[in-house]
Amino acid sequence: MSKMKKVLALLLIVVLTVSLGACKSSKKEEPKADVTTEDGEPAGEEVSESDGEYEFTEPVTIKFANYAVLEAGYDKFWEDVKKGFEEKYPNIKIEYMTAEYGQMLTQVVTWAGGGEIVDLVLGEIPWIPTLADAGLAVPVTDAFSEDYLSQIYPSMLEATNVDGVPYGIPMYASPFVMFYNKDLFEQAGLDPNAPPTTVAEMMEVAPKLAALKTADGNPVYPFGMTTGSVSVSGSCLTSLIYGFGGSVLDADGNLDVDNDGFKQTFEFIKELDDKGYNPQVSKLKDLRNLFALGQLGMYYDTSWGFNGVNSINSTAKEFIASAAPLSGGAGKGESLIQAHTFMMANNGEAQVEATKLLIKYILTEKVLAPYLQNVAPGYPSMSALSEIPAITESPVLSGALSSLNTAKGIANIPAINDFNIELTSLAQAVTVDNKDIDTAINDFKTSAGSILGN
């Protein structure tokens, strides 16, 4: 009996050991049917003739990394895109590969590490340098004609540049703009149709807003600037620095903070904090929350940030208005452009051609306009769509339309996200940590320089 047990145990051990050895990827090669496409030529106004020349001799599946498919409110649009596109191009299928927004970039890299390189990624501009550096995104000039790329706003396309070459096709974009609450402006005796345009004007109206209370007795913050320890807060701070005429990085991605605009920005942030005008160490979601509840007079956000406000208070459309970012110091109110962008890999000619068709399909008025009107307010990247009612009649977009002309990008470097977090640390140092501005900036130079390898 004991011998039997021993044999059984040994047998189990052998099975376990063998199964451990078998722990390796077993990638199945999908059989490719030899089918000729019925509709290889893309039809419709949105695809130029030269782009329709590729003939798909085999079915193609586009692997599309898209976090938005998991997000309520966005999911239906992307399912409709899949349905509409597959109907139009029967030999091309879309396979969504999803992960939660915060994990998407890491997930794309992990998939690639496992040998699965996705054809298309929908993401933010700061993702581009990482993907480009890893070889998971290719210059869009390799795939799209000059004629097609010229239809995109130059500032939006340039924002995707790595070493002077664009690596993304923006779907829609937004600079950081200023949202303000018209009802609170009225309550404070201010003109709801004349928001402040400069930092000085804003500081003049701020005490009137700070004196207000909500119906349930909560205080009203006049101005919200995000300084929470997340990358997007750093982008928003960069935008404010641009508004003061300052800079953070030069064109080569080196630290470039020895300028008045940079220092003035943090003096302004400190002043806001000293006067209790800005909710401390807040993330954008905190500001959206306060704005939705009528506790925030003005704040900086991207246009699609309105969705966060609207999800908390569905009547927000009635009191929200947008304005161009403030100008301070010697600045002219410039802003940092943000975009939801397509980044594509090169997985062979057929994959690239199919991916191109998909991008072009999405960037048509028929597909994109309802999205911008009903799903996520943003400025379309295709200049031909700038006058559509979804933009000109939107309370979220119309007021800040002019900011598109002055918005610009930032040098795309692989460590941009960490650099942005370090920028928030600087804002926290001069506010909640009460550090002297010059000392805090010097500390920032050491840590940020190390991140950048300067």
Partner 1 sequence: MQIKSGSLDSRKTKGGPLIKKTTKDKLFALALLTPSIIVTVMFILVPVFDSVIKSFQNYKIKNIIAKIPGEWNNFDNYVKLFSNNKLLPSIQLTLIFVGGVVLSQFILGMAMALVLNSNLKGARFIRSVMMAPWIVPTIISGLIWMWIYQPQYGLLKYVVNIFSFGNVSDFAMLNNPATALLGIAIAALWKQIPLTALLLVSGLANVPEETMEAATVDGANAVDRFFHITIPYMKSVIKVTASMAIIENFKQFPLIWTMTGGGPNNSTSTLAILSYREAFVSNNLGSGAAVTTVWMLLMIVVVVLFNFVFKDTNVD
Q: Catalog residues that contact partner 1 under the rule CB under 8 A.
A: 6, 9-10, 13, 16-17, 20, 106, 109, 112-113, 117, 130, 133-136, 218, 228-231, 279-281, 290, 295, 414-415, 417-418, 421, 424-425, 428-429, 432-433, 435, 443, 446-447, 449-451
Give the residue among 358, 241, 223 at the shortest CA–CA distance from 287: 223
Q: How far is the CB of 215 from partner 1 (least distance, A)?
A: 14
Q: How far is the CB of 129 from partner 1 (least distance, A)?
A: 8
- Cα angle 317, 321, 326; round to 5: 150
Whichever of 174 and 428 has its CB closer to partner 1, that residue is: 428
Q: How far is the CB of 377 from partner 1 (least distance, A)?
A: 26
SS3 82: helix
Q: How far is the CB of 322 from partner 1 (least distance, A)?
A: 24
Q: How far is the CB of 426 from partner 1 (least distance, A)?
A: 8
Q: Is 241 exposed, middle or buried (0-12, 13-18, 19+ CB in 10 A)?
A: buried
Whichever of 402 and 442 has its CB closer to partner 1, that residue is: 442
What are the DSSP calls for 202-267, one per residue? HHHHHHHHHT-B-TTS-B-EEEE---SSSHHHHHHHHHHHHHTT--SB-TTS-B---SHHHHHHHH
CB 222 within 8 A of CB 271: no
Q: How far is the CB of 413 from partner 1 (least distance, A)?
A: 10
Whichever of 365 and 418 has its CB closer to partner 1, that residue is: 418
Give the residue among 139, 84, 157, 121 at the shortest CA–CA distance from 362: 84
Whichever of 294 and 328 has its CB closer to partner 1, that residue is: 294
Give the residue among 204, 175, 178 at the shortest CA–CA distance from 190: 204
* E strand segments, 226-367: 296-301, 320-323, 337-344
CA 145 to chain centre: 25
Whichever of 369 and 437 has its CB closer to partner 1, that residue is: 437
Q: How far is the CB of 352 from partner 1 (least distance, A)?
A: 18
Give the residue among 354, 356, 373 at the shortest CA–CA distance from 365: 373
Whichever of 37 and 280 has its CB closer to partner 1, that residue is: 280
Whichever of 22 and 33 has its CB closer to partner 1, that residue is: 22
